Structures are given as C-alpha cells and as structure tokens.
Chains A and B, each alone.
Chain A
Amino acid sequence: MTGVIEGGWEYVYASYLTSWVFVVGYAASLWLRSREER
C-alpha cells in the first residue's frame, strides 16, 4: 500500500460529466423558457 488512491478515473469522468449535464441542461431550459415568455 502506497497511501495514494489508485485509479478512480470513473469518478473523475462522472464529476465532469455531471457538470456538463447541468450547464447544458440549464442553458437549454433557459432557451425554452425564453421562447415561451416572448
């Protein structure tokens, strides 16, 4: 045992993917609501 976490790339990808889902999803919701309000 080295005391360093080994691997874990799946968590890294999950975190970045979650961020992008939120950003893109919210941008899409803003666009749709902006069209409705016009």
Chain B
Amino acid sequence: MRDCEAPVAVSGERIRSADRPPGRCAISGSSINGIAALLGFGYLLVVAGLTLTRERPVLPFRWELPLGIAGVVMLAVGNGFGLFYAPSEKFMGQVGRIIYSHVPAAWVGMICFLLAAVFAAGFLFTNDPERARRWDAAMEAACEVGVLEGVLMLLTGAIFGRPTWGVWWTWDPRLTSAAVMTMSFVGVLLLRGIVRDPDRRATWSAVATILAGINVPIVYMSVQWWASLHQPQSEGAGGSMIDPSMRWILFFNAMAFLFVTVFFLAARARIAERRVEAEMPEPLPEVAT
C-alpha cells in the first residue's frame, strides 16, 4: 500500500483527475488489475490447454460459468469504484465517470467484431465439416454479442454526449463510423436469419462478416484520420490519455466486461452449434451388404 497522498491537480492532457480527497490512500490499482488478469487469463489458458489436449474440456461444469460469475462480480465492484472511488474528471466533472461503462463496451464490442471476422476466415479456409460448423457457430456468437456491445456503446455514448457536447447525436466521424460498423453486423445477423440452407447461410454470412469487419480499424482510426469531436483514443501509440488514478479503474471495468463477454460468446456458440446439429439431415440408414 502506498502512503496517503495529497490531492493532485494535473493539467495538460485531456482527461485528468481533478480531485482526490485529502489524505486518501490510493489503492494499488495495478496490483488489483494484475491479480484479476492473472486469475482470469490464467483460467482461460488452462481451459484452452485442456481443450487442445482432449476432445472437450474435462470439467464437471461449463467452463465459461466461473468466468461469467467472476465477470459480473468484477463489473459490480468496478462500477462501484467508478461511482464512489474514482476522482472526478478535470473538465467533465462527475459526468466523466461514464467512461467506465462506455469505453469498456466500445473496446469489447470491437474485439467481438474482429473475432467474428477471424472466425469467418476460419470457416472459409477449413475443409473439415465438423470444424466448419464450430467456426460458423463461433462467428454467429461473436456477431450477436458484438452487436449487443455495439448498441450499448452507441447508447452510453449518446448519454455521455448529451451533457458534454449538448447533443444526443452528431454526425461526427467516430460516431458515424461506429454506427455503420454496428449496423453492418446487424445486417449479417439479418442475413443469417433469412437464409434457410445451413451451408449457404454459413458461407454468405462469413463473407459478409469479413466485409463488415473492415469497419473496425476505420472506427478506431477515425479520430486521427478526420477532424472529430470525439476525443482521440484513450490508449494509443503515443501513450495513455488518462490519469493513472482513473486508468486502472477503466482497465478493471474493461476486464470485467471482457470476462462477461467471453461467457456470452461461449454460451451463444453452444446454442448455435445445437441449432446447426438439429438442422442436419438424418443419417442414411445402413444398407446390409
């Protein structure tokens, strides 16, 4: 534990903590994040190792369940940090606390969309029917969860924009490209809904997903390529825009969102796999020779 520090007023960068109650000890946020990351990602590595060495993980429960529970608990704790512990932002005041719900949703949403494109490529480049079904199920899950996070990003962004910019929406490059990205994947889901044949559905939506995935780097770079009202990336090549006292809380919430999202992805992929299996035709009866 660090010694209690006097309030720090930092200027110069976009987002800086404006106040910290005098004599308040700073929790070692990096330690908390380090422990959470070690446990969460360590668990994922163990599960991945079990999956690769065996046909299915040898666990008496669904592997994603502990991650989902941990994610929800972390999200509750992280929101508590954001509401009651985090300092207010230098210019946005208390409204700056919205970053702890808006930014994680944006990050994880874009990760989901990227994953969907990767799974789509995996489907298109595999020859094994069993693996192709799994890639397709994973792609469907990533598209749907990504749309969920994308819509959440747009909604929380509008809630953020109203008190800071004075408008719920503006046709700013970042906002517009994010909306286009989310709607592209909504289109992929609609395509999957209207195509009955499983093979065509998988192939067509895989191609559409890869095309939609091109939006992700455009959204990320939009604030640099065009004059945008939206602030630049919080974490970019030039370093962090955020004061450390806020940054660790942001990362904590982002990790919580990520763990919850992994749970959603796994559960949704199971549902998609079962549906595809149900759609498969009955095997032909064996003919006695």
A→B interface (CB under 8 Å): 3-9, 11-12, 14-16, 18-20, 22-23, 26-27, 30, 33-34, 37-38
Contacts and interface: CB of A to CB of B under 8 A. Distances in A.
B68, B72, B95 — which one has the most chain A CB atoms within 10 A of its CB?
B95
B230 interface: no
Nearest to A9: B94
A20 B264 CA distance: 14
B137 to A, nearest CB: 12
B98 A11 contact: yes
Contact of B95 (A5, A26, A37): A5
A33 B267 CA distance: 10
B44 interface: no
Contacts of A4: 18, 90-93
A30 B148 contact: no
B94 A37 contact: no
Contacts of B152: 18-19, 22
Interface string B58-94: 0000000000100010010001001100000011111
Contacts of B32: none
Contact of A12 (B68, B97, B267, B268): B97
A22 B156 CA distance: 11
Counting contact residues on chain B (CB < 8 A from A), the size range is 35 or more
Contacts, number: 80
Nearest to A24: B72
Contacts of B192: none
B267 A15 contact: no
A37 B274 contact: yes
A15 B256 CA distance: 16
B163 interface: yes
A30 B268 contact: yes
B182 to A, nearest CB: 13
Given A11-B95, A23-B72, A5 B156 contact: no
Nearest to B263: A27
A8 B274 contact: no
Contacts of B134: none
Given A8-B92, A11-B159, A30-B267, 20 more contacts: A3-B91, A5-B92, A5-B94, A7-B93, A8-B93, A8-B94, A8-B95, A11-B162, A11-B163, A12-B94, A14-B159, A15-B98, A15-B102, A16-B101, A19-B152, A20-B79, A22-B148, A26-B148, A26-B264, A37-B278
